[in-house]
Amino acid sequence: MSPPEKPSFALRLAWEKIPEADLLIRLAGLIEPDGGMPGRDEEDRWIASATVLFCFFAHGHTEQTGAFRAHVQRLLSFLKNSPQTSADLRKRRLVELAELGTVPKADWDELASVIATGNHFAHDRFRQAVSVLFNA
């Protein structure tokens, strides 16, 4: 499938593979003042924030190391303090695992690229990516 003849700017970006450095910079720039990612509602924000956190982790950025460590700290803080986390055992467990550096194997770049282009991916794609942690 190829892009439409005159796609919007956001759609063109979604069709292109965003280089790693550009992706991480774009994602870092989208973090809101409270440390979370933008979204349509709190569930959307939580999932987008966790996705971006795992993307940073997948590129070797942690709370202590990497050029994006401050962004990782802000995302983790947002997730830890979110009412979504305290109300959902699986989300709480994901945050605990993230604090330990456990990242589910997934194409976090692909999922995060959707966020970086201002689009929203289906929540089920995120849930599928993290389900391996709960199906063991």
Query: 104 Cβ partners below 8 Å, 6+ apart?
Result: 54, 129, 130, 132, 133
* Domain regions of the chain by residue span: 9-133
Instruction: Check if the beta carbon of residue 78 is closer than 8 Å to that of residue 39.
Output: no
- Residue holding tokens 């401050």? 70
Cα–Cα distance for residue pair 60/45, rounded to 1 Å = 23
Average pLDDT of the chain, as a whole number: 84
pLDDT at residue 62 is higher than 60: yes
Q: Taking residues 10-33, report their average pLDDT.
A: 76
Find out whether 14 and 1 touch, Cβ atoms under 8 Å.
Answer: no
**Model confidence band, residue 17 (pLDDT cutoffs 50, 70, 90):** low
Q: Which pLDDT score, from 0 to 100, does residue 6 have?
A: 52
Asked if 78 and 34 count as a contact pair (C-beta separation under 8 A), the reply is: yes
The pLDDT, as a whole number, for residue 1 is 46
Question: What pTM value is reported for the model?
Answer: 0.83
Segment among 13-17, 40-44, 94-98 with least mean pLDDT: 13-17
